[in-house]
Chains A and B, each alone.
Chain A
Amino acid sequence: MDQFLEFISSNLQLFYILILAIFIGFELIKNVPTVLHTPLMSGANALSGVVIVGAILVMLQSNPEDYLALSLGFIAVVLGIINVVGGFAVTDRMLQMFKKKK
């Protein structure tokens, strides 16, 4: 328990950001019309690909001889970037369809 409290107090800033971000997320999405739900979801999906930053950090911090860490990191980067590039590209394609009618 002490350790837990210590973790919170030493990362207080982190928790402020965490809580505020939750509220921002709720507020941003609250009134989105049904028509945009699918693009919104795939756009948000692309954003969750931000996990790739962590995957890159894993590789950057690995010892070049640590083959296990490097190969796991490599797969993580590949999967993360597929999520990012694919997600943004397909969202763009979808929104293009909504746009051309007007």
Chain B
Amino acid sequence: MSITLSILYLIATVTFVVGLKMLGHPETAKKGNLTSAIGMGVAIVGTILLAEKEVPTIIYILIGSAIAVGGIIGWIIAIKVEMTKMPELVSLFNGFGGASALLIGIVEFNKNIGVDSSEKASISIIATIIAAIIIGSITFTGSLVAWAKLNGSMNDIRFPKYNLINNILFIGLVAFATYIAVLNTDSAILMYGLLAASLVYGFLFVVPIGGADMPVVISLLNSLTGIAAAITGILYNNMVMLVGGILVGSAGLILTFAMCKAMNRSLASVIFGAFGGADVAAGSGSTVGGTVKKTSASDSAVLLNYSDNVVIVPGYGLAVAQAQHVIHELEELLTSKGVNVKYAIHPVAGRMPGHMNVLLAESNVDYDKLVEMDDINPSFPNTDVVLVVGANDVVNPAAHNDPSSPIYGMPILDVENAKHIIVNKRSMKPGYAGIENELFFNQKTNMLFGDAKDALTELVSELKNM
């Protein structure tokens, strides 16, 4: 590697660290993203122009056209995507990164070990290549499944004993990989077998996971893509890949832990255990009874109009209905009538961490009005009306008072302490894993059924007439 290229890689590595640091603060985030992007550009251009050996022109042309094609596709996707679709997009890009790593693994396997190799590679190189193939494959199919589930084209599929099956497959995968590495085989069939097994595992790993658990899965897959990139970096002894990949890997892991904490799960139970599984739901024997009070948009409007303090709790239903603009309109209208309105943001509301913040930012909601869970919980007893829009598990009191509930112990928004509660939902259908929500049967709760966008629009027009 030429000295110039090494220095360029060093610069790129520094921009990654600095950029990621800046991305963590609201004022510098945009510059941080740009800094990393420039560093990435430097690394890419440097790699192409400062190649060690003589490279035929045709290869340069191929690389150039690959970058042009992919760059344009990436740009168009990024410009066109709706903000409600961010979780899908991140999953899709994750899958691409993973696929890229696995393709590199295949080529290097052929070159170092398989048919094209002249001498036997060392066990460490084989292990590295195999790790790249396995992690790249799991990330690839796992992310594609996550993407398909998020955009609604695939439902949760739960086989009986799927946990057992997945765990056996995982152990088998590790054993198989060790076998190939120790055997120092040049058999391409074994490698493709491993590839297929990894792809299947990635698929099965995400398939049973329910929608509400997606934030954890997405950040875990994000972390895995980083690790896959870092492993290919080890293969090429390439520092920018190694450091860049590891940064993403550990950052993703931190977010994964944060999400786990917000849902009161351990990471081990996420990977190997009952993860939003039917087994757990069956354990919650307590059924919630009582009558549900239905309300109308006009009654809700009256209630909201004569309140002093209103808290809005947005959830995934808001994103599905694309109701982020209407809710902002409602909030502004109420504020103009002298009502104090805030939004309560649960860490795992939506389908990826911080999803609600992005949506509300898109519709220009004031940053100061978004209050995090720990800060808003003490103020619920002084709140006149809580308006829950498309959220369910994050406001379920069972987390506090039903030890048999799968979500028992999960930190929630204590909306039941408010004086009145209005819940907007499409139907009485429970959230993930079929947990009933006793909040809906609470004396203080009024159910406003309907699509979030339609219901809120009606609410806004009722308020305007007052």
Which residues of A are at the interface with B, using a C-beta cutoff of 8 A?
A: 3-4, 7, 11, 14, 17-18, 21-26, 28-62, 64, 66, 68-70, 72-102
Q: Are A39 and B354 in touch, CB under 8 angstroms? A: yes
On chain B, the residues within 8 Å of A21 by CB distance are 242-243, 246-247, 250
Task: Say if the beta carbon of B237 comes within 8 Å of chain A.
Answer: yes
On chain A, the residues within 8 Å of B258 by CB distance are 37
Q: Are A88 and B40 in touch, CB under 8 angstroms? A: yes
* Interface pairs (10), CB distance under 8 Å: A21-B242, A21-B246, A25-B250, A34-B357, A44-B23, A48-B244, A51-B104, A54-B233, A54-B235, A79-B70
On chain B, the residues within 8 Å of A60 by CB distance are 47-48, 51, 55, 59, 63
Q: Are A85 and B353 in touch, CB under 8 angstroms? A: no
Q: Which of B34, B241, B352, B366 neighbours the largest number of chain A CB atoms within 10 Å of its CB?
A: B241
Instruction: State how many angstroms separate the Cβ of A102 from the closest Cβ of chain B.
Output: 7
For chain B, the bracket of interface size reads 35 or more
Instruction: State how many angstroms separate the Cβ of A82 from the closest Cβ of chain B.
Output: 4
Chain A's closest residue to B368 (CB) is A101
Q: Are A70 and B62 in touch, CB under 8 angstroms? A: yes
Which residues of B are at the interface with A, using a C-beta cutoff of 8 A?
A: 16-17, 19-21, 23-26, 29-30, 32-34, 36-37, 40, 43-44, 47-48, 51, 53, 55-56, 58-59, 62-63, 66-67, 69-71, 73-75, 77-79, 81, 83, 86, 89-90, 93-94, 96-97, 99-101, 103-104, 106-108, 110-111, 116, 122-124, 218-219, 222, 225-226, 228-230, 232-255, 258, 345, 347, 352-355, 357-358, 361-362, 364-367, 370, 372
Instruction: State how many angstroms separate the Cβ of A76 from the closest Cβ of chain B.
Output: 4
Q: Are B364 and A38 in touch, CB under 8 angstroms? A: no
Q: Are A29 and B122 in touch, CB under 8 angstroms? A: no
Q: Given known contacts A29-B24, A58-B104, A64-B58, is B96 in contact with A82 (CB within 8 Å)?
A: yes
Q: Tell me the bound Cα distance from A78 to B111 in angstroms.
A: 21
Q: Are B36 and A47 in touch, CB under 8 angstroms? A: yes
Q: Which of B25, B63, B225, B255 contacts A37 (CB 8 A)?
A: B255
